[in-house]
Amino acid sequence: MLLSSLCSMTQLQAATNNPFDTHPVRYAVVNELAIAYQDMGPKAGEPVLLIMGLGAQMLHWGNETTQGLINKGYRVIAFDNRDAGLSQKLYQADVPRVWWAMLQSKMGWQVEATYTLTDMAADAIGVLDTLEITQAHIVGASMGGMIAQRVAAHYPLRTLSLTSIMSTPGAADLPPPTDAAMQVLLASPPVITTRAHQIERGINVRKILGSPEYFTVAAAKELVVRVMNRGSYSSGASRQLIAIAADGDRSELLKTIKAPTLVIHGAADPLVPVEHGRRTAELIVHAQYLEIPMMGHGLEPQIQRQIVSQLDQFYQMSSH
């Protein structure tokens, strides 16, 4: 009995080492939507706003990123984008035909979207408004990087710095994803499936997109299960993908960004090839560029630790 109690206490202690389990989820009413966020770390620390990517949740930043920044004294604010995670879903909106929107975007035609990346950038600022934070370091990954770029361009007075991770300016001449990554991006989830199959499918997606050197089934499964337990919403991911297509080429916009900028990209990224990161850094004045050799389109624990170290160095340098 005593041994069982000790084991339970050990498991509870391990679980509470996860920052997403030790800080409450709160809601900000932004643009008439409920946006779920978590405010973590010392309130007196410099704020770091984390913006996640397509269909992803704040959980995808990982324990190492979040707790690592907290340990270095930063106030970390993470949130779920509209139509994802614990934030409000637009159930009443139509489910778009993704293939048609992608074709329209490729042909240079206007893409009709339920909402835009500019709207999603306003959501991010709304979270800061709710917390009465006037300025923050803005960090975005993948689609979150695109949103972060718009935050830095449209809200320069709110942006202490910009970090764009595994993202893109959206220029049409940049290389496309690999065939395998494109299939993952456009695949429709099965209508009827078991939980075990969903977990297996999630692990496989992370293996295809992730970092070859650092991928492990154990870490992938842990994240997939946690994300599933909070809930997934494929229709929201489709609408977000349309928002990306409608946003088009941000090259000229990036040239207007004046905030200190760090661009991080993986040399092994199959979804957003490394040329996208290099171009992003070229377009933003005085941007620093970090290319991680074996990084794919994922934030495995080893990658998270590298990013935390680089962010801390970048913040220390940009504050002087």
The pLDDT score that the predictor gives to residue 233 is 75
Cβ atoms of 184 and 209 closer than 8 Å: yes
Amino acid at 91: Y
Q: Please, which residues bridge with residue 107 across strands?
A: none
What six digits make up the tokens of 238? 């489709």
**Quick count: other Cβ atoms within 10 Å of Cβ 33?**
18
Q: What is the DSSP letter of 210?
A: S
The pLDDT score that the predictor gives to residue 4 is 43
Cβ atoms of 20 and 62 closer than 8 Å: no
Cβ atoms of 68 and 304 closer than 8 Å: yes
The pLDDT score that the predictor gives to residue 7 is 43
State the Cα–Cα distance between residues 232 and 14, nearest whole angstrom.
25
Cβ atoms of 233 and 84 closer than 8 Å: yes
Give SS3 for 105.
helix
* CATH architecture observed for domain 2-318: 3-Layer(aba) Sandwich (3.40)
The pLDDT score that the predictor gives to residue 92 is 81
What six digits make up the tokens of 99? 């293939």
The pLDDT score that the predictor gives to residue 227 is 92
Residue ranges covered by each domain of the chain: 2-318
The pLDDT score that the predictor gives to residue 238 is 85
Q: What is the DSSP letter of 93?
A: S
State the Cα–Cα distance between residues 5 and 2, nearest whole angstrom.
5
**Mean pLDDT per 10-residue section of the chain, whose length is 320 residues:** 41 59 95 96 97 96 97 98 94 66 59 89 98 98 98 98 98 94 79 82 93 94 92 82 92 98 98 98 98 96 97 89
**Quick count: other Cβ atoms within 10 Å of Cβ 293?**
9
